[in-house]
Amino acid sequence: MKTILVIGGAGYIGSQMVKLLLTTGCHVVTLDNLSHGYRDAVLGGDFVLGDLANRTELEHLFTRYTFAGVMHFASFIEVGESVRDPGKYYQNNVACTLNLLDTMVAHGCPPFIFSSTAAIFGEPQYVPLDEAHPKQPINPYGRSKWMIEQILTDYDRAYGLKSTCLRYFNAAGADPEGHLGERHDPETHLIPLVLQAASGRRSQITVFGQDYETPDGTCIRDYIHVYDLCQVHLLALEQLLTGKPSVVYNLGNGSGFSVKQVIEMAKEVTGRDIPVVLGQRRSGDPARLVADSTLARQVLGWQPQYADLATIIAHAWQWERRHFKR
Ligand code: UDP
């Protein structure tokens, strides 16, 4: 039985990944410091409370287990916070990841799946964005992820560490079976915030800017279901395990929805009123981010199962209602 290490397996995407890996019969080990994750979100396998900042702990972990693959979800993800406190982002997202990579090199270079982001591209020069789009991140969060992508290229060349970088566009939705969902604190993402406004946990949703160069003036994003994202991780891991070279993929559904369209869809799905306030632009938001995921579809044979926005929102709504008893 293969043993897979999931770092950040108690978080929003990591916990969904642990659940999916368990269905494939893998032995899953979750490493999480529970700074942002929840112990009860880890539905099986071994749980290790620990931190990538601690190299001795990492050394023990890699001595105790022989990992067939490693997936890394444990990053800080708030763009605004990364601008205010870049040290926190470079420390966690870069320095801690380096600790991990060096430990992996010392333990036989297991294949590595890295959670990257559309934020590495910065302001789009064309849309949809393919893998070759220039990388000019405009905030420390995006730069921290782009640094690791470049470091991975060097580690492959020098040490033979094989990796797949998965550049998520807007991860959204919840476990289709309703057991897991988004529990960020504070929450900054559009869909959970809109649903909190629908359920009454929040009084309103603020639309950040209506003067963008888009048909309705609000920002357009490409929302991808968290389950579909995890499916790509599985496919990517299988490819690396068969000895395929390192690779990067952009991951989205290829269709963009504006903030206003998301709110309208949420009204339809929930049947609830959603109070909306029109606010100022949030700094660092490009007008339009849509993925060209042709490569992932062609090379990995990836087929998203929950590509439509209504289903993505319905699953997130199911979680909001069940978990928060609304
Ligand atoms: N957004 C908004 N109000 C909110 C949160 C987000 O209008 O309370 C907008 C945000 O400006 C962006 C889109 O919704 O255009 C998606 O933002 P989110 O933070 O979910 O993801 P991001 O695109 O930043 O990764």
Tens digits of residue pLDDT in 70-127: 999 999 999 989 999 999 999 999 999 999 999 999 999 999 999 999 999 999 999 9
Asked if omega into 176 is within 30° of 0 (cis), the reply is: no
69, 50, 63: which is closest to 8 by C-alpha? 50
Does CATH place domain 3-171+224-251 in 3.40.50.720?
yes
What is the rounded CA–CA span in Å between residue 277 and residue 234?
40
CA of 190 relative to ligand 1 center, distance in Å: 5
Q: Exposed, middle or buried, 305 (CB in 10 Å: 0-12/13-18/19+)?
A: exposed
Pairing between β-strand 247-251 and β-strand 163-168 as defined by DSSP bridges: parallel
CA of 191 relative to ligand 1 center, distance in Å: 8
Pairing between β-strand 27-32 and β-strand 247-251 as defined by DSSP bridges: unpaired
Q: Is the shortest distance between the CB of 207 and ligand 1 below 6 Å?
A: yes
- Inform me whether the pLDDT recorded for 232 exceeds 90: yes
From-to residues of CATH 3.40.50.720 in the chain:
3-171+224-251
CA angle 182, 112, 125 (to 5 degrees): 70
Tokens encoding 318: 């199911």
- Inform me whether the pLDDT recorded for 168 exceeds 90: yes
Q: Exposed, middle or buried, 150 (CB in 10 Å: 0-12/13-18/19+)?
A: exposed
- Inform me whether the pLDDT recorded for 326 exceeds 90: no
Q: In the beta sheet, which residues pair with residue 288?
A: 220
Q: In the beta sheet, which residues pair with residue 5?
A: 29, 70
- Inform me whether the pLDDT recorded for 15 exceeds 90: yes
Q: Is the Cβ–Cβ distance between 15 and 39 less than 8 Å?
A: no
Query: What DSSP character marks residue 129?
Result: B
From-to residues of CATH 3.90.25.10 in the chain:
173-222+254-292+300-324
Q: Is the shortest distance between the CB of 2 and ligand 1 below 6 Å?
A: no
Catalytic entry in 141, 155, 227, 306: 141
The single-letter code of the amino acid at 48 is V
**In degrees rounded to 5, what are phi and psi of residue 320?**
-55, -45
Confidence of residue 181 (pLDDT cuts 50, 70, 90): very high
Average pLDDT over residues 36-61: 98
Question: CATH says 173-222+254-292+300-324 is which class?
Answer: alpha beta
Confidence of residue 256 (pLDDT cuts 50, 70, 90): very high
Confidence of residue 325 (pLDDT cuts 50, 70, 90): confident
Query: What DSSP character marks residue 287?
Result: S
What percent of the chain has pLDDT above 70?
100
CA of 210 relative to ligand 1 center, distance in Å: 12
pLDDT recorded at residue 324 = 84
pLDDT recorded at residue 108 = 98
Q: Is the Cβ–Cβ distance between 263 and 190 less than 8 Å?
A: no
Tokens encoding 94: 């870069």
Contacts of 94 (CB under 8 A, 6+ apart): 144, 147, 148
Q: Which residue's CA is the closest to the ligand 1 atom numbered 10?
A: 208
**Mean pLDDT for the chain overall:** 97
Query: Which ligand 1 atom sits nearest the alpha carbon of residue 262?
Result: 14
Q: Is the shortest distance between the CB of 287 and ligand 1 below 6 Å?
A: no
What is the rounded CA–CA span in Å between residue 307 and residue 202?
27
- For a mutational test of ligand 1's pocket, the pick from 189, 202, 204, 274, i.e. the residue with the most ligand atoms closer than 8 A to its C-beta, is 189
User: 92-101 b/e with 16+ CB inside 10 Å = b?
Assistant: bbbebbebbb
- Inform me whether the pLDDT recorded for 193 exceeds 90: yes
Q: Is the shortest distance between the CB of 221 and ligand 1 below 6 Å?
A: yes
185, 208, 184, 204: which is closest to 195 by C-alpha? 204
What percent of the chain has pLDDT above 90?
96
Q: In the beta sheet, which residues pair with residue 116?
A: 167
Tokens encoding 167: 């550049």
What is the rounded CA–CA span in Å between residue 151 and residue 93?
12
Residue 159 annotated in active site: no
CA of 80 relative to ligand 1 center, distance in Å: 11
Tell me the pLDDT tens digit for each residue of 266-308. Answer: 999 999 999 999 999 998 889 999 999 999 999 999 999 999 9
Look up the pTM and report it. 0.97
Tell me the chain's radius of gyration from C-alpha atoms.
19
Contacts of 153 (CB under 8 A, 6+ apart): 246
